[in-house]
A and B are shown apart, each in its own frame.
Chain A
Amino acid sequence: DAGVTQSPTHLIKTRGQQVTLRCSPKSGHDTVSWYQQALGQGPQFIFQYYEEEERQRGNFPDRFSGHQFPNYSSELNVNALLLGDSALYLCASSLASTLGWNEQFFGPGTRLTVL
């Protein structure tokens, strides 16, 4: 049973570029959340996708956008990269019917470095 997978593992971009990060949820899960973890901080909620729509969004600018596909996998896109976007980006999956308990399972993350 595969857990949450993310690609790529590491990524280096320059300011102003655009980046796409990918996530496949744990088998049986239908909901994907994205978090940004800066160095020395806890993960910060970016947004959550369910039924191919953004269901909730955290305090992140519109440069951050996402998508969920019919197979429940998801992409996170960041446009016009800033140095401050350098962070570990975590994808978490869960099952909507258990969302009240909010047990989200995390992938290993994508380390994004913006130069």
Chain B
Amino acid sequence: DQQVKQNSPSLSVQEGRISILNCDYTNSMFDYFLWYKKYPAEGPTFLISISSIKDKNEDGRFTVFLNKSAKHLSLHIVPSQPGDSAVYFCAASGENSGYALNFGKGTSLLVTP
């Protein structure tokens, strides 16, 4: 069963605007969440993470928000740039999943000029 869900397979945003990518999870034992970006023919690249003790983490243009009660997290990219066009994966881990990262299916972001 899919414990991490990214319900939007694709998203198109204009350059300079905000991109919001969403992720839901079902396992309440997850306590650490990550976002990875993947370009074609490359492996996933770590982008930003958040621990369950926080509800927000910022790194430059990237901010991740965590709503534990809703089991929902989102990645905000402001402002969006054409180079941000990639597939974004949400991943989660926790005590009962051990060392494994549980990934969503990804959201393909296209930033148009």
Contacts and interface: CB of A to CB of B under 8 A. Distances in A.
Given A42-B104, A42-B105, A106 B45 contact: yes
Interface string A12-43: 00000000000000000001010100001111
Interface residues on B, range: 20 to 34
Interface string B76-105: 000000000000010101000011111111
A43 B89 contact: yes
B109 interface: no
Contacts of B104: 42
Nearest to B45: A106
Contacts of A44: 103
B100 A42 contact: no
Contacts of B22: none
Interface in B38-53: 41-46, 49, 51
A103 B43 contact: no
Interface in B42-83: 42-46, 49, 51
Given A42-B89, A42-B106, A101-B32, A108 B43 contact: yes
B99 A99 contact: yes
Interface string A43-70: 1110010000001101000000000000
Interface in B9-50: 32, 34, 36, 41-46, 49
Given A33-B101, A106-B45, 10 more contacts: A40-B105, A41-B105, A42-B103, A44-B103, A92-B43, A99-B99, A102-B101, A104-B46, A104-B101, A108-B43
